[in-house]
Amino acid sequence: QVLLVESGGGLVQPGESLRLSCAASGSILDLIVMGWYRQAPGKQRELVARIYRDDTTNYLDSVKGRFTISRDNAKNTVYLQMNNLKPEDTAVYYCNVANWSTNYWGQGTQVTVSS
């Protein structure tokens, strides 16, 4: 069992930055991947970024060069640094982690990018 607690969302103007955090607790020693999804109103949930146990990463094409996923093993926390935010980044962002048998989801945090 894994519990995920997200934080860091908010309202920013285009070009500004946010950092999302997701702290994991519980049975976390066997996690294979940690990542972030987002879902905008009326749209399907999409994978934004993920980081594997060996530290390889994947990114959605539209966020490459702007977003960076990282992990602090001592704090059992995964981060998403979001720079140069654009209005199209507006969505609810969900933390997701997985072991070999189960996916776990955070509660979601709202990111709004608007002038």
Q: In which residue ranges of the chain is pLDDT below 50? A: none
Q: What pLDDT does residue 73 have? A: 83
DSSP state of 84: S
Instruction: In whole angstroms, give the CA distance from residue 77 to residue 23.
Output: 4
Q: Report how far residue 115's alpha carbon sits from residue 100's, in angstroms, rounded to the nearest whole number.
A: 42
Q: Who contacts 90 (Cβ-Cβ below 8 Å, separation ≥6)?
A: 40, 111, 112, 113, 114
pLDDT at 30: 87
Give the pLDDT score at 75.
85
| pLDDT, position 102 | 94
Distance CA 115, CA 112 (A): 10
| Contact (Cβ atoms closer than 8 angstroms) between residue 16 and residue 9 | no
pLDDT at 66: 98
